[in-house]
Structure 1
Amino acid sequence: MTPGAGGGESAAAHRSGRQESPEERADRRWSDLLQEVRVAQTGSQVLFGFLLSVVFMPRFAQLDQFDRDLYVVTVVLGALATGSLAAPVSYHRLFAGRRLKPQLVDAAARLVATGLILLALTIGSALLLLLREAVGGAAAAWITGAVMAYFAVCWLLLPVFQLRRQDHRGKRPPDG
């Protein structure tokens, strides 16, 4: 086992079943976080790029005020999502060489979580805008609500349920 400061096994290694130093753990968590961000960031950037072009389409002038306002909200949410998902790069540049990797990983993880929430809201509002044009107001609202509920189940409820099942069985998942 990895010796801690007092010569015994580190508490983190004991809980996670891994034999890694705090620095190795921070490096592993940072690498995992970067892989996750690459997926979400690419999606948010592509969606944001498409949203930016919508205002220049001829049909945009025909939208009613609600849809124009919804478009503005969608673009702002997309910008915030993209900014949140890109922020870990800035943190990394500012923290580099300062021996603050655990703090970097914690801050970046919070920004990514915020970015994912903003991305879900961006997708939801973009879907509502699109469906209002395609199928009308009431159907658009119901379909968008169902899609957002699905996101909540997949992105939040299923992982929380799995964590609770693991905790109930007395097995703590590795700290990631």
Structure 2
Amino acid sequence: MTDDRPGAPHAETPIQRTNRNFGELLQELRVTQTGVQILFAFLLTLAFTPRFPTLDTVQRTAYVVSLCLSVLAAALFTAPAAIHRYLFHRGAKPDIVRVSSRITELGLGVLSLALTGSVLLSVDVAVGRVGGVAAGAGTLLVCTGLWLVLPWRVLRHRLRHGAAPERQ
């Protein structure tokens, strides 16, 4: 029996749910991959600019760490495609979705650190160390707030008001 009310869960088979969840995950990855690719490309070009040799040790460290974190984020966000390709037609779709979801969560954490370091570096070069540290801290705070705290609060609100968690 299906519930056709707006917002009501539809009856799905486990494989339909898995396929839907994987499709939703891929949509999320399309958004994040573009941002990571742009960040990585920006960071790659910095080492070849005329001003790069004038960076101090802290700025160079922030650069290298941010570059490495952006590479790690790119690897994490592309891993679900590689996992899917390797396990395709092996009956592992639920495992692919579960592992890919965890990898994507880790990728978001790494991306927040890469963004933080990139902002710290850019603002440090533009206005100074104090401004760079403040902007980096603000970036980390915003990412943590939007990507971790807000979803957690929405879930707590749902649970507090009697809404049962949906099976994804």
TM range (shorter): over 0.9
How many pairs were matched up?
163
Alpha-carbon distance between aligned partners in 1 of 2:29 and 2:78, rounded to the nearest angstrom: 8
Higher relative contact order, chain-length normalized (CA < 8 Å, sep 6+): 1
> Counterpart in 1 of 2:117?
125
Q: TM-score normalised to the size of structure 2?
A: 0.92
Q: Which structure: larger Rg?
A: 1
1:159 to 151, 154, 157: 151
Which digits, 9 at most, give the CA deviation of each residue in 1:91-141, with x for residues without a partner?
A: 010110011111000010011111111111111000000011111111221
Match of 1:90 in 2: 82
Take 2:51 and 2:138, find their aligned partners in 1: how far apart are those partners?
A: 27
Q: What one-letter code is carried by the residue in structure 1 that aligns with 2:32?
A: A
Partner of 1:68: 60
Inter-partner Cα distance in structure 2 for 1:167 and 1:20: 23
Q: Which runs of 4+ in 1 moved over 4 A?
A: none
| Cα distance, 1:151 vs structure 2 | 1.4
Q: Is structure 2 residue 100 aligned with structure 1 residue 101?
A: no
Q: TM-score, normalised by structure 1?
A: 0.88
Structure 1 unaligned regions, length at least 5:
3-15
Q: Write the distance in 2 (CA, Å) between the matches of 1:127 and 1:68.
A: 13
Pairwise CA distance, 1:17: 3.1
Determine whether 1:48 maps to 2:40. yes
Percent identity for Structure 1 against Structure 2: 37
Q: Determine if contact 2:115/2:139 at 8 Å carries over to the other structure.
A: no
CA distance in 1, matches of 2:139, 2:72: 21
CA distance in 1: counterparts of 2:70 and 2:142, whole angstroms = 20
Superposition RMSD in Å: 1.3
Amino acid aligned to 2:97: V
The unaligned stretches of length 5 or more in structure 2 are 3-7
Match of 1:138 in 2: 130
CA–CA separation in structure 2 for the residues paired with 1:83 and 1:52:
16
User: What is the deviation of 1:170?
Assistant: 1.4
Alpha-carbon shift at residue 174 of structure 1 (Å): 2.3
> 1:10 — aligned with what?
none
Equivalent in 66, 72, 81 of residue 80 of structure 1: 72
